[in-house]
Amino acid sequence: MAIVKETVLEVNHYTDRLFHFKTTRDTGTRFRDGEFMMIGLEADGKPLLRAYSVASPNYEDYMEWFSIKVPDGPLTSRLQNIQPGDEVITNTKAVGTLVMDNLKPGRNLYMLATGTGVAPFMSIVRGIETYERYERVILLWSTRRVEELAFRELLETLNEHPVWGEISQGKFMFYPSVTREDFENTGRITEAMFSGAVYEKLGLPPFDKEHDRAMICGSMEMNLEFKQYFKDELGCVEGSGNSPGEFVLEKSFVEK
Ligand SMILES: Cc1cc2nc3c(=O)[nH]c(=O)nc-3n(C[C@H](O)[C@H](O)[C@H](O)COP(=O)(O)OP(=O)(O)OC[C@H]3O[C@@H](n4cnc5c(N)ncnc54)[C@H](O)[C@@H]3O)c2cc1C
């Protein structure tokens, strides 16, 4: 596995638990939108790497990352202190299940995220192929507090962005929700899907496995609830590289 050094270009802190950073991109680094790679720091002369979803789309010559800060976390207790000009290390091989190749073609693509689970979807919602494959691209993202909806402004104005708006062609829809304070949408996104609140708000037909596809990434609890819903209640098939299905989820995102 090749390990390369990347230079930190920009760092943005949102809360005491969340930050985003941008790095250079090695010319040998290839990924599909939605995939993850190992990234980290040299610590005590050894590589200290963790899995991270690439949050930028694959046509950009830089890479974006969205990170938790775990107070005693071996990597993030250090990584949260990076500054522009510092070096991070990554491998150049990306993998992951949250890729469109693992889904059958369809009409509407739903991306369902909690917390930092939105990272792979930040890549997909700005991806070129995404809008070639789907008529509507819908992101549901919940956090505990409004300030944790770090990319809210970007997402709310994505269709008007000079570059990403050209790519999304007005097909992108965003449903943010928070669980612990007042906001335009409150509560868990599982509930918003199960009750139909999201369809009502966005003016969409209910999820139909004949036409619609879903990607899931976030807390274990949400993963399991959605897995049960799509598989057991709606009769959807989980997709993989060998056999595309109607939904995919990142199994090991938070708990290992
Ligand atoms: C496929 C995959 C993709 C991932 N992508 C991302 C990503 O894009 N952004 C990101 O911040 N993390 C991501 N993670 C988690 C990441 O690999 C690390 O666990 C995280 O950076 C913390 O590293 P650490 O060494 O500081 O602490 P660790 O020892 O790795 O984690 C300590 C504890 O912190 C909690 N924790 C870890 N990550 C998170 C998280 N993201 N949200 C909430 N609680 C968490 C867990 O309870 C964990 O047991 C991903 C994990 C996997 C398996």
**Do 168 and 241 fall within a single domain?**
yes
The rounded Å distance from CA 96 to ligand 1 centre is 15
**Do 137 and 35 fall within a single domain?**
no
**Do 228 and 106 fall within a single domain?**
yes
Does the residue 60 lie in any domain? yes
Residue with CA at minimum distance from ligand 1 atom 37: 254
Q: Residue 22 and residue 37: Cα distance in Å, rounded?
A: 14
pLDDT digits (tens), the chain, 256 positions: 689 999 999 999 999 999 999 999 999 999 999 999 999 999 989 999 999 999 999 999 999 999 999 999 999 999 999 999 999 999 989 999 999 999 999 999 999 999 999 999 999 999 999 999 999 999 999 999 999 999 999 999 999 999 999 999 999 999 999 999 999 999 999 999 999 999 999 999 999 999 999 999 999 999 999 999 999 999 999 999 999 999 999 976 544 3
**Do 221 and 112 fall within a single domain?**
yes
The rounded Å distance from CA 224 to ligand 1 centre is 18
**Do 173 and 71 fall within a single domain?**
no
Q: Residue 49 and residue 96: Cα distance in Å, rounded?
A: 16
**Do 26 and 116 fall within a single domain?**
no
Does the residue 215 lie in any domain? yes
Name the one residue in this structure whose structure tokens are 């190992």. Answer: 38
Does the residue 256 lie in any domain? no
Q: Residue 204 and residue 256: Cα distance in Å, rounded?
A: 35
**Do 151 and 211 fall within a single domain?**
yes
Total domain count for the chain? Answer: 2
**Do 226 and 188 fall within a single domain?**
yes
Domain around 129: 100-249
Residue with CA at minimum distance from ligand 1 atom 51: 253
Residue with CA at minimum distance from ligand 1 atom 26: 73
Pocket-testing residue among 88, 116, 252, ligand 1, by greatest number of atoms within 8 A of Cβ: 116
Does the residue 254 lie in any domain? no
The rounded Å distance from CA 228 to ligand 1 centre is 24
Does the residue 7 lie in any domain? yes
Residues in the ligand 1 pocket, defined by CB under 6 Å: 36, 50-53, 66-68, 70, 73-77, 115-116, 119, 250, 252-255
Sheet hosting strand 36-43, strand order edge to edge:
46-53, 36-43, 87-91, 3-13, 18-24, 62-68
Does the residue 207 lie in any domain? yes
Q: What is the pLDDT of residue 255?
A: 44
CATH number, domain with residue 113? 3.40.50.80
Which of 66, 91, 116 terminates a domain? The answer is: 91
**Do 13 and 106 fall within a single domain?**
no
Ligand 1 atom closest to the Cα of residue 79 is: 26
Which of 91, 125, 160 terminates a domain? The answer is: 91
Q: What is the pLDDT of residue 224?
A: 94
Pocket-testing residue among 79, 221, 250, 253, ligand 1, by greatest number of atoms within 8 A of Cβ: 253
**Do 124 and 84 fall within a single domain?**
no
**Do 223 and 108 fall within a single domain?**
yes
**Do 233 and 140 fall within a single domain?**
yes
